[in-house]
Amino acid sequence: MIAAAVGALTLAIATAAAFSISRLRVPGGRIVMNLALFTYFIPAAFLAVPMYRTMGNYGLLNNHWSLILAMVTIASPYAIWVLKQASDKLPVELDEAAVMDGATTLQIFRLVYVPLMMPSLVAIGTYAVLLAWNEYLYAFLLLSNDKDITLPVALGNFLAADDSRMITKQSLTVDAGIR
């Protein structure tokens, strides 16, 4: 559920942002693209404590939405950057032809832009889902109830459990009374 929500939200945000920056020529679009690229110079681990405090301030700790919002925050800059680069490759003449046929901006987005961007959307959706599926650090920090933890955290807890004894040749021979 968390990974699917992250994928859907990341696609919605990144597609709308890339369309508005690339096609609508929103003022400040170049600055947004540079900031999105700049965010990848900061490791995600550096943002863990501020993200934890922010989610705590909003009362979202031990809530799936905290992890969903954190992962969308991490995935969106890259998704916006990739989709903007892909949308720049689409011919502007298609938009102009749609305007000549009387299409609104929303119709251009829905009927021209999204179908042509489908391969890039599938790639970015897969990226966002896999990023959320494999997340350990934020899931460990933001979800501490045993009912709410994700699979990577549950596997980490299982492997770190002290009551599981490692089976070795020495322990088998001691248990069997063989010397």
**CATH class of segment(s) 2-144:** mainly alpha
For a pLDDT cut of 90, what percent of the chain falls above it?
51
Residue 55 has pLDDT above 70, yes or no: yes
Rounded mean pLDDT, 78-86: 93
Q: Encode pLDDT of 133-164 as tens digits.
A: 988 888 888 888 777 788 888 877 777 766 55
The domain segmentation of the chain, as residue ranges, is: 2-144
Q: Encode pLDDT of 108-121 as tens digits.
A: 999 999 999 999 99
Please, are residues 107 and 45 in contact by the beta-carbon 8 Å criterion? no
Q: How confident is the model at residue 172 (pLDDT cuts 50, 70, 90)?
A: very low
Task: Look up residue 36 and give its amino acid.
Answer: A
